[in-house]
Structure 1
């Protein structure tokens, strides 16, 4: 059961941070496309940067979810030891 909860925390953290960065990338990408992109090569490069940022957000979000689970589990164990 502990493993399932840990995986759910990792998944939730990864999805949550990815969604935040997805929204930010959309706003920044739209502004870049309208104001700075000169040709399709610039847009392709911006797309690759956006994919890299999304991938990093997924990894960092999973790490944060795992860290949140470990803190929650540590608090739970310390409460049991006090009783």
Structure 2
């Protein structure tokens, strides 16, 4: 295994991790901004409101994207195993 292959695999690993985390992070960001705006307008300073909404948003997002995320993770795992198999020959 040469240096280029190691860099390629490290890059693919980081890209896959970012791709899998992006939907959850985006939903959390949007919900956080919306809750902050609502709290600023209403002068409501309840910390649990933001937490509960973010947790619900993360849960729903993970349920909705579970099939896609599993396909991406399995494809990445197969790619890694194929590279390891080619390394053995």
Q: TM-score, normalised by structure 1?
A: 0.51
SS at match of 1:17: helix
Stretches of structure 2 that go unaligned for 5 or more consecutive residues are 1-12, 73-89
1:32 CA displacement: 1.6
Higher RCO, 1 or 2 (CA under 8 Å, sep at least 6)?
1
Stretches of structure 1 that go unaligned for 5 or more consecutive residues are 38-42, 73-83
Partner of 2:21: 11
CA distance in 2: counterparts of 1:8 and 1:66, whole angstroms: 15
Contact persistence 1:9–1:65 (CA under 8 A): no
Q: TM-score, normalised by structure 2?
A: 0.49
Cα shift readout 1:17-38 (whole Å, capped 9, x = no counterpart): 11111110110011121xxx5x
Instruction: Rate the CA distance shift 1:9–1:59 in 2: closer, same or farther, 3 A.
Output: farther
RMSD of equivalent CA atoms: 2.9
User: Aligned pair count?
Assistant: 60
